[in-house]
Amino acid sequence: MTPRALLSVTDKRGIVEFGQGLVARGFQLVSTGGTAAALRAGGLDVLDVAELTGFPEMLDGRLKTLHPLVHGALLGDVRLPEHREAMTKAGISPIGIVAVNLYAFEQTVSAEHTFEQAIESIDIGGPAMLRAAAKNWANVSVIVDPDDYATVLGAIDDGSLAGRRRGLAAKVFRHTAYYDSVIARYMTEAVGVNPLESETLTVGFRRSQGFRYGENPHQAGAIFTDPLGPRGIAQARLLWGIDPGYNNWLDADGAWELVADLPAIACAITKHGNPCGAAVGKSLGEAYREARAADPVSAFGGVVAMNGVIDAEAAAAMTEKGNKLDVIVGADFTAEALDIFKNRSGWGQEVRLLAAPLPGRGVSLTLRSVRGGVLVQESDEDPGNAWSYPSKIKPTAEQIAGLEFLWRVVPHVKSNAIVVGAGQRLLGVGAGQMNRVQSARLALQQAGEDARGAVLASDAFIPFPDTVEVAAEAGIAAIVQPGGSKKDADVLAVADAAGIAMAFTGARHFRH
């Protein structure tokens, strides 16, 4: 009996060559619609599925392959005498190779579309054939990825195809699970169901890059992109340099998210997961110099992000003597800026230049793994509460501008978080301490004499007067914090005695 191969694909890359290779190896081709037309245009004889089943395509193409003569051919275990007997009685000939890929639902819903177009992009017959063939992997070789065509043909020639079938089947189930996850997520959002209240959370990710290692050399790692989530650093294009690693991506994400929250024209610098510099300037070059001045030691080997197109002036500032950067992220780079980086003596390709879409502001889901599961929450977007000023001394307009700048920065610092700044520039950071007063000491120590007359932000309420006392000793003029502590009155009393203005925001920004 002539072996059969069923080919029905949306992505027609390489399908004609694959069909030619199968015919040359003795297979009869069975196909549908556009795939059959493409194969015939390539000079191949094709048996239409409608001819095989005796049942025409109908319902505007929704019904093509859902037929016992197709699925019996995919599901029949020809190793079993009773299956062979049943198939013979029903006139079912086995199909040994299946190449199917699915309607482009993800591409449809990622572009401008109507809900009806999204529905018509949901493939039914394709996943059914793939799952049937993959379940019957012991008898059927199923291919969902055009990049595997050459491998399959080579395996037919060297007799290794049977040993590859289970791996091909596993790839199919990954593919169909991802496909269904995108549909489920789209439909869940379309009907207005809160995913945090749904009985299951179905989120699929697509691998975009593997790493030499993860956070440490003994850990494997990779980055996957979210097909329906907000755009961000994961969609960045590498314009120059070696591939970023796990830690590079983490710091790049931190810098990119921070600079997206800042007014244009701004620069943010991160190191080991925390900002070490941030500033707004008249140009990106000025913003970088101001941001770096906050902590030039930590900025060495750090990650820089700028919320605009990086030009020659900014590139020149970042390549001045004494600078060394691992990753630079911008909305894009001018040709002149790229030339400056590429020709920087001593840097080579060690600096990675990434062009990324600025993250859109709006609530999305954030996922964080814990052993045995995952924590899910809405992203931390400031609710925009009206601020109150409960201190006797009220902040000046200039101080309020500085406090507002710091209030944009502090959510990006690991809690307990204290940041000190002046104008539109970060001066000091106290991050990740187990008590708030120690974070304040670290931020004020870094700011040094510049703390006199500067302002301070705390990501959560100040629980005891000691933090204000430390700030007063350093010369801080105004503080912004959420408020809401049982000891607010004590904290305000110390602020009033020290002549410090205080603002309450009514919102907390923990970042653990």
Residue of 171, 272, 342, 487 marked active site: 272
Q: For residue 384, tell me if it sits in a domain.
A: no
Distance CA 479, CA 463 (A): 14
Distance CA 335, CA 326 (A): 20
For the segment 463-494, what is each residue's pLDDT rounded down to a tens digit? Answer: 999 999 999 999 999 999 999 999 999 999 99
Distance CA 399, CA 396 (A): 5
Distance CA 332, CA 343 (A): 18
185 and 249 co-located in one domain: no
> In the listed set 288, 322, 355, which residue is the last one of a domain according to the structure?
355
Query: Which residue type does 291 have?
Result: A
Distance CA 222, CA 208 (A): 8
Percent of the chain past pLDDT 90, that is, above it, reads: 70
Angle at 274 between CA 273 and CA 275, to 5 degrees: 135
What is the predicted pLDDT for the residue at 50? 76
DSSP-derived 3-state class of residue 173: helix
Q: For residue 390, tell me if it sits in a domain.
A: no
> In the listed set 157, 190, 223, which residue is the last one of a domain according to the structure?
190
Distance CA 333, CA 339 (A): 10
pLDDT, mean of residues 445-460: 97
DSSP-derived 3-state class of residue 393: coil
The verdict on whether 272 is a catalytic residue reads yes
Q: For residue 198, tell me if it sits in a domain.
A: no
For the segment 2-13, what is each residue's pLDDT rounded down to a tens digit? Answer: 888 999 998 899
Q: For residue 370, tell me if it sits in a domain.
A: no
181 and 272 co-located in one domain: no
482 and 414 co-located in one domain: yes
**311 pLDDT above the threshold of 80:** yes
pLDDT, mean of residues 371-388: 92
Give the containing element (helix H, strand E) for 374: strand 373-378
What is the predicted pLDDT for the residue at 362? 79
416 prior amide bond cis, ω within 30 = yes
E strand segments, 221-334: 222-225, 237-240, 266-271, 274-280, 302-310, 325-333
174 and 305 co-located in one domain: no
Distance CA 416, CA 433 (A): 5
23 and 122 co-located in one domain: yes
pLDDT, mean of residues 436-455: 96
154 and 29 co-located in one domain: yes
Q: For residue 227, tell me if it sits in a domain.
A: no
Percent of the chain past pLDDT 70, that is, above it, reads: 97
Label residue 363 by pLDDT band (50, 70, 90): confident
Distance CA 371, CA 481 (A): 33
Q: For residue 207, tell me if it sits in a domain.
A: no
53 and 164 co-located in one domain: yes
| Bridge partners, 58 (sequence order) | 63
> In the listed set 155, 175, 190, which residue is the last one of a domain according to the structure?
190
Helix count (H) and strand count (E) of the chain? 19, 20
What is the predicted pLDDT for the residue at 347? 73
**260 pLDDT above the threshold of 70:** yes
**Closest to 232 in 3D by CA, of 259, 207, 214:** 259
Q: For residue 44, tell me if it sits in a domain.
A: yes
pLDDT, mean of residues 187-215: 89
pLDDT, mean of residues 310-337: 95
80 and 143 co-located in one domain: yes
Q: What is the CATH number for 421?
A: 3.40.140.20
Name the domain count of the chain: 3
| Bridge partners, 31 (sequence order) | 7, 48
Whole-angstrom CA distances from 387 to 169, 339, 407, 424 are 58, 46, 11, 19
Which residues have C-beta within 8 Å of that of residue 108, sequence separation ≥ 6? 117, 118, 121
Given a contact cutoff of 8 angstroms between Cβ atoms, the answer to whether 401 and 423 are in contact is yes
265 prior amide bond cis, ω within 30 = yes
The verdict on whether 175 is a catalytic residue reads no
Label residue 259 by pLDDT band (50, 70, 90): very high
Residue 174 has a CB neighbour count (10 Å cut-off) of 12
Residue of 135, 324, 342, 392 marked active site: 135
Distance CA 464, CA 466 (A): 6
For the segment 245-256, what is each residue's pLDDT rounded down to a tens digit? Answer: 999 999 999 999
Q: For residue 196, tell me if it sits in a domain.
A: no
Given a contact cutoff of 8 angstroms between Cβ atoms, the answer to whether 75 and 139 are in contact is no
More confident residue, 461 or 371: 461
Whole-angstrom CA distances from 172 to 7, 169, 497 are 15, 5, 69
**64 pLDDT above the threshold of 70:** no
Percentages of the chain per state (helix, strand, coil), in multiples of 5: 40, 20, 40
Distance CA 460, CA 258 (A): 18
- Domain enclosing residue 435, as ranges: 397-504
79 and 181 co-located in one domain: yes
What is the predicted pLDDT for the residue at 102? 86
Three-state DSSP string of 17-29: HHHHHHHHCCCEE
350 and 401 co-located in one domain: no
Query: Which residue type does 508 have?
Result: R
**59 pLDDT above the threshold of 70:** no
The first and second tokens of residue 6, run together, are: 């069923």
CA 365 centroid distance within chain:
11
Query: Which residue type does 340 have?
Result: I
Label residue 62 by pLDDT band (50, 70, 90): low
Residue 404 has a CB neighbour count (10 Å cut-off) of 17
In the block, which residue shows the tokens 């430390």?
A: 470
Question: Mean pLDDT, the chain, as a whole number?
Answer: 91
DSSP-derived 3-state class of residue 207: strand
151 and 278 co-located in one domain: no
More confident residue, 183 or 61: 183
DSSP-derived 3-state class of residue 397: helix
**167 pLDDT above the threshold of 90:** yes
Distance CA 432, CA 439 (A): 7
**68 pLDDT above the threshold of 80:** no
**312 pLDDT above the threshold of 70:** yes
Which residues have C-beta within 8 Å of that of residue 290, sequence separation ≥ 6? 267, 277, 279, 281, 425
Label residue 196 by pLDDT band (50, 70, 90): confident
140 and 24 co-located in one domain: yes
Label residue 53 by pLDDT band (50, 70, 90): confident
Q: Parallel, antiparallel, or unpaired: how do β-strands 97-100 and 141-143 relate?
A: parallel
Given a contact cutoff of 8 angstroms between Cβ atoms, the answer to whether 421 and 409 are in contact is yes
Q: Would you call 288 exposed, middle or buried from its count of C-beta atoms within 10 A (0-12, 13-18, 19+)?
A: buried
pLDDT, mean of residues 345-359: 85
